Chain A
Amino acid sequence: MKESSVLKVLIADDTDSDRLILESIVKKEGHITISVANGVQAVEAYEAEHPDIVLMDALMPELDGFGAARQIKALAGEELVPIIFLTSLNDAESLVKCLDAGGDDFLSKPYNRFILQAKIKAFSRMRDMNITMQDQRDQISVYNNQLLQEQSVAKHVFDNIAHTGCLDASNVNYLLSPLAVFNGDIIVAAMRPSGGMLVLLGDFTGHGLPAAIGAMPLASVFYGMVQKGFSMVDILREINQKLKQILPLGVFCCAGMVDFDFTKKRVKIWNGGLPDCFIYHAESKELQMVKSTHLPLGVLDDNSFNDDYETVEMLDGDRLFVWSDGIIESRNKNDEMFGEDRLKNIFTNNEYPDGLFESIVDNVQLFLGMESRDDDVSMIELKMVPQDSVITKAKNLVHNRSVGLVEWAMTLELEPSTFRIFDPLPLLLNILVEVPGLRRYSGELYSILAELYSNALEHGVLALDSSWKQSGEGFSKYYEERESRLAQLIDGFVHIHLSHKIDDSGGKLLIRMTDSGDGFDVAGTPSELLANNVMNSGRGIPLVKSVCESVEYNSIGNQVDAIFVWQEE
């Protein structure tokens, strides 16, 4: 370091001969000297020359050494400027006065060359160390600012990804710390093209950047796949696989995923490592739990991953709660945990279901006391409501690419081995939303494809009789048959032909499904019966007709043409 370097030494002494001796001693060591004869000159020289070390006589005319030392120390601020008092004062009182004035050491007369040289060396080292320490402190402060800035950029990017969803929906309440991404907590929610809602609450192991890293691909996969119509199971598997692939060993994501169907009043719940999810049935005031039966996401490879979920019926007004372990594991200052019993009591004592969410938050806060912060608590409440009443500002992700598919046609032929394992709908929807004008209609397109494909497969290829579905008994028979016929199927196909043309005002999409079945007596089926969907139960064909310009069967009834027309915005 600077040990061998040349120091600038300020010598303040009013006796000419003493000053001469000091100058000689200091110069012998190769340093530079600045000499002055009183305290006022010493302060001026300090300001002008910024010496590294000061040798200061105590008693001097004008301003004495004590006063000069005080001023120099004040001017130096954080910088360490060692001041060595030159004195033949030997009484304790005077020495204390030197120290009080900011003196760092003494040198008594008669001067000893070796002692002075040793002192200068020691203080020079101390000064170097001090400079190093301050540099490092400044460096740390720079790094810290940089880190905070990086975090805020990361959070901004993350918020852009994570907040494209429908957490604002009218039936959703949630609690998530503003810096949750760095606590490893994440909540994502999105409307499915078919109208349902998918929600995932995740809690990554660890804190800070390692925990935040996993949240990005999770959110990105989630929103990308929901929009394209993938099922909960497909999305779970993809997220699990992606996390398994990217996260280091020991980092994983406890997660709960929920598929909320507002039409069927049915909820699918997959819980991997989170505390029990609660379902509060408004009418009966009963509490139903959904336990974690799986390992967290990012632990198992795809083959070992278990996607079994629980299905729960929920009436309008029923509420589902999913939370991280932050709530029940919250500890107060006596190191007590909030615990599941306290949580259950909130439900038992509740008289006003709309206030449940607030009540839980308040109770946890009260338990923790004022000084604690609830940064680690993440939870979401989902209320079952009629489909029409779900209001959200969320739009389908807007693709800004101006290019996409324009005029094109394609045919996909599916054969028995494929029927059994592959759901072609996400693939098809994926292609369709490449047409810029069709993106807005992904929900409608999904419904059309889903209906036509299940008709072609179930009634065409598998020749299942839709009238079975009229009765409850028949309903389960229908699905048993479906499974067994699918398993035994050797021959058969479904052709899906899509072709798209544009015109002045928008475009026209033809969806043609042809199946290997025997068809049905189109001519013999009165058109009003067709319209009322004799051949299929459920919403079925009437729904397709309501969104398409036309839906027509060929004469033998094994091919249907649905024409969907869209207008430029």
Chain B
Amino acid sequence: MPEAVDLDTLTMLKDIMEDEFDLLIETFIDDAKVRIPQLKKQLAEGEHDELMRNAHSLKGSSSNLGAIPFSEKCMKVESQAKEGNLNGLEGALSDIEQEFNLVESALKELI
């Protein structure tokens, strides 16, 4: 089982962001906390375009922070939504939610 966040990636980010590293982490966490409930709502309402785009954004931003397992889970939702097949995504969304808890606590240790 891989780590929730890749520390090498985060070390490099720290180097780039310098003083703004903390801000970056907080921004990511805040953004995800807005988007994850949205995912559930969009699934419930069958808005697969919005669901796809939302999952896509989360996939991208989490990959930038080295949250690889989380990003992969988002990708699964994204591609399924793209095909218009929303069947059985409830489970995938709760996987995302659980994984996010791991990511959040790992990231918070760094600030």
Asked whether A20 is an interface residue with its Cβ less than 8 Å from the other chain, the reply is yes
Asked whether A516 is an interface residue with its Cβ less than 8 Å from the other chain, the reply is no
Residues on A with C-beta less than 8 A from B53 are 59, 61
Contact with B along A4-28 (1 / 0, CB 8 A): 0000000000111110110011001
Residues on B with C-beta less than 8 A from A399 are none
Distance of A28 Cα from B17 Cα, bound (Å): 9
Asked whether A524 is an interface residue with its Cβ less than 8 Å from the other chain, the reply is no
B17 to chain A, nearest CB (A): 5
Asked whether B69 is an interface residue with its Cβ less than 8 Å from the other chain, the reply is no
Q: Is A15 within 8 A of B31, CB to CB?
A: yes
Q: Is A21 within 8 A of B17, CB to CB?
A: yes
Asked whether B27 is an interface residue with its Cβ less than 8 Å from the other chain, the reply is yes
Residues on B with C-beta less than 8 A from A16 are 27-28, 30-31
Q: Is B59 within 8 A of A88, CB to CB?
A: yes
Asked whether B61 is an interface residue with its Cβ less than 8 Å from the other chain, the reply is yes
Which of chain B's residues 1-40 have a Cβ closer than 8 Å to chain A?
A: 9, 12-13, 16-18, 20, 23-24, 27-28, 30-31
Partner pick for A110 among B27, B28, B56, B66, CB 8 A cutoff: B66
Residue ID in chain B nearest A64 by CB atoms: B53
Contact with B along A108-119 (1 / 0, CB 8 A): 011101000000
Q: Is A109 within 8 A of B16, CB to CB?
A: no
Q: Is B12 within 8 A of A21, CB to CB?
A: no
Which of chain B's residues 34-62 have a Cβ closer than 8 Å to chain A?
A: 53, 56-57, 59-61
Interface size, A (range): 10 to 19
Q: Is B17 within 8 A of A24, CB to CB?
A: yes
Q: Kindly count the residue-residue contacts between A and B in the assembled complex, taking CB atoms under 8 Å apart.
A: 55
B49 to chain A, nearest CB (A): 10
Q: Is A17 within 8 A of B24, CB to CB?
A: yes
Residues on A with C-beta less than 8 A from B9 are 110
Which of chain B's residues 76-101 have a Cβ closer than 8 Å to chain A?
A: none
Distance of A61 Cα from B52 Cα, bound (Å): 12
Residues on B with C-beta less than 8 A from A61 are 53
A162 to chain B, nearest CB (A): 75
Distance of A88 Cα from B78 Cα, bound (Å): 12
Partner pick for A18 among B20, B30, B60, CB 8 A cutoff: B60
Q: Is B31 within 8 A of A17, CB to CB?
A: yes
| Given contacts A59-B53, A110-B9, A21 and B60 within 8 Å (CB-CB) | no
A114 to chain B, nearest CB (A): 10
A25 to chain B, nearest CB (A): 6
Residue ID in chain B nearest A21 by CB atoms: B64
B28 to chain A, nearest CB (A): 4
Asked whether B103 is an interface residue with its Cβ less than 8 Å from the other chain, the reply is no
Residues on A with C-beta less than 8 A from B23 are 20
Residues on A with C-beta less than 8 A from B24 are 17, 20-21
Contact with B along A146-174 (1 / 0, CB 8 A): 00000000000000000000000000000
| Given contacts A15-B31, A16-B27, A88 and B16 within 8 Å (CB-CB) | no
Distance of A502 Cα from B64 Cα, bound (Å): 107
Distance of A59 Cα from B52 Cα, bound (Å): 10
Distance of A402 Cα from B65 Cα, bound (Å): 94
Residues on A with C-beta less than 8 A from B16 are 21, 24-25, 28, 113
Residue among A17, A24, A61, A88 with the highest chain B CB neighbour number at 10 A: A17
A184 to chain B, nearest CB (A): 69
Residues on B with C-beta less than 8 A from A109 are 59-61, 63-64
Q: Is B31 within 8 A of A21, CB to CB?
A: no
Distance of A24 Cα from B64 Cα, bound (Å): 13
Distance of A13 Cα from B20 Cα, bound (Å): 18
Distance of A24 Cα from B24 Cα, bound (Å): 10
Residues on B with C-beta less than 8 A from A20 are 17, 20, 23-24, 27
Q: Is A15 within 8 A of B61, CB to CB?
A: yes
Q: Is A88 within 8 A of B60, CB to CB?
A: yes
Q: Is B64 within 8 A of A111, CB to CB?
A: yes
Distance of A200 Cα from B2 Cα, bound (Å): 98
A200 to chain B, nearest CB (A): 82
| Given contacts A20-B24, A24-B17, A28-B16, A14 and B57 within 8 Å (CB-CB) | yes
Distance of A88 Cα from B75 Cα, bound (Å): 10
Residues on B with C-beta less than 8 A from A18 are 60-61, 64
Distance of A279 Cα from B45 Cα, bound (Å): 103
Q: Is B56 within 8 A of A59, CB to CB?
A: yes
Residue ID in chain A nearest B18 by CB atoms: A24
A26 to chain B, nearest CB (A): 10
B18 to chain A, nearest CB (A): 8
B21 to chain A, nearest CB (A): 9
Distance of A355 Cα from B8 Cα, bound (Å): 96
B100 to chain A, nearest CB (A): 14
Distance of A17 Cα from B16 Cα, bound (Å): 13
Distance of A485 Cα from B54 Cα, bound (Å): 121
Residues on B with C-beta less than 8 A from A111 are 64
Distance of A17 Cα from B29 Cα, bound (Å): 9
Q: Is B64 within 8 A of A17, CB to CB?
A: yes
Residue ID in chain A nearest B52 by CB atoms: A59
Contact with B along A458-491 (1 / 0, CB 8 A): 0000000000000000000000000000000000
Can you report 26 residue pairs joining A to B where beta carbons are below 8 Å apart? Answer: A15-B57, A16-B27, A16-B28, A17-B28, A17-B61, A18-B60, A18-B61, A20-B17, A20-B20, A20-B24, A20-B27, A21-B64, A24-B17, A59-B53, A61-B53, A88-B56, A109-B59, A109-B60, A109-B61, A109-B64, A110-B9, A110-B63, A110-B66, A111-B64, A113-B12, A113-B16
A residues near B (Cβ < 8 Å) are 14-18, 20-21, 24-25, 28, 59, 61, 88, 109-111, 113
The 8 A-B pairs with the shortest beta carbon distances in the complex, nearest first, are: A17-B28, A109-B60, A110-B63, A15-B61, A110-B64, A88-B60, A17-B27, A17-B61
